[in-house]
Chain A
Amino acid sequence: MEELTTLLKELFSGVLYMGTVDGLKTLVMFVIAGVLIYLAIRKDYEPALLLPIAFGAILANMPPIIDAVTGDPTASVLGSDGFLTVLFDAGIRNELFPILIFIAVGAMIDFSPLLKDPSMIFFGAAAQFGIFATFLASMLLIPVVFPGIAGDESLVLRLASAIGIIGAADGPTTLYVANHFDLKDYMAPISVAAYSYMALVPVIQPPIIRALTTKKERTIHMNYTEHKASRLTLILFPIIVTVLAGIIVPMSVPLVGSLMFGNLLRECKVLERLSKTAQNELANLVTILLGLTIGSTMLAKNFLRWDTLFILTLGLLAFVFDTAGGVLFAKFLNLFRKNKINPMIGAAGISAFPMSARVIQKMAKEDDPYNFVLMQATSANVSGQLGSIVAGGLVITLVGLLIGW
């Protein structure tokens, strides 16, 4: 009889687990994953990422089994030989997936609007203000909100760096920084914040822009001077950017180098097949693997904590600061310029490409149907891509220098 009971307990261990406190947490995680799936499918918010993340979260929160190697109870996909553990070790722990994603992104980006109007590049720098403002805010708030880690200066600085980088609106860079600083326990909220806020750019940016600009400013028309970017320029640009960034910020080389390699594949025009592969097959494949693997970090014990809410809130703040930084920088420049800049362009300096540029054009049209600022906004937007990578490299370098990491 006792043997039968044991057998039944083992057979229905998953069902019995759902009645425990941990089981209830699992249900909460299923609800969160359900919300992400709803946003992905019904609202079309970055479905390519949110759907794999949500499904990865469901898989990772399944009732545990005893791991044959470690003896610890874990979900079968996360055991020593679990496929999500293998993917994490192969693609996130060694920073491979973000790098591969950057090759794909580089192959998708057309830098010619920026090469025609390079003055927009400074908005890509100004809009990184949010990263550093949020870094400072996080650094001050972490010891107050979580006194437990206040004494660990290294952890405070590393965590503040990763939270600040959420403002880059650049998922791969955020993952790269968080992973570099060995923040596996915080990876789930950081990556979920980075990717979900990227999807929410059309919701987050417009109210901030409206609050900081007048209708008169938003209806400023900008002349678009057409300087044709030659093929040689388009080919030289990724090489020069890689070399310059590599010399000045060596830590940014993996990110800049992979982005620019992808772009060179696109612009050289003799590797059409490789360029198409990077834009489609590579991007799709790595997105699936990256999404599932990020989702697998959303374990109830790591996610259902106060610090998740804290990271999500500060991540949102980083987006707000970034947008405000770009808009205010444009307004500042207008104090000295004869030909005024539409300050909304500044907000496109974040890295969410091409969504932010589209949002700005849509807002410009709402106020004046004949206002066309898409090219300038796109220039600022691709500059934001460069700016966020450089900012990521600088944060790693500077914080690493301070804590000896």
Chain B
Amino acid sequence: MLFKFFMSATETVQAMITETPAATEPSSSLAAMSIFSKGLFTTLLGLVGVFLVLALFYVSIKIMQRKNNQPPQEKE
């Protein structure tokens, strides 16, 4: 199920990057939003996005710290 979803999403992205520039046109639902809704959309997704990306950086630093602090395993 998950694999099927992943494959269909991948195909969509593949189609997006191989299509002509018309693919960059905003979808009708996004274009139909009022300017204030567009502003809110950008603000909310932008803030969440910044936190999400920096949270990923945090996790990656923590993983590196953990690996670094692990005592070396003794050879048998």
Contact = CB atoms under 8 A, between A and B. Distances in A.
Instruction: Give the interface residue-count category, chain B.
Output: 20 to 34
B30 A401 contact: yes
A227 B39 contact: no
B7 interface: no
Q: Secondary structure of the A side of the interface?
A: helix
A227 B46 CA distance: 32
17 contacts: A121-B61, A122-B58, A125-B47, A125-B51, A128-B47, A132-B42, A135-B39, A140-B39, A161-B42, A228-B68, A240-B60, A240-B64, A241-B60, A248-B52, A395-B46, A403-B26, A404-B25
Contacts of A398: 41-42, 45-46
B1 interface: no
B61 A132 contact: no
Q: Secondary structure of the B side of the interface?
A: helix
B50 interface: yes
B54 A394 contact: no
Contacts of A129: 47
Contacts of A6: none
Interface string A137-158: 0011001000000000100110
Contact of A249 (B25, B39, B49): B49
Interface residues of A, number: 52
A237 B65 CA distance: 11
A245 interface: yes
A163 to B, nearest CB: 12
Given A125-B50, A227-B69, A233 B64 contact: yes
Nearest to A325: B47
Nearest to B68: A230
A160 B39 contact: yes
A232 interface: yes
Contacts of A232: 64, 68
A390 interface: yes
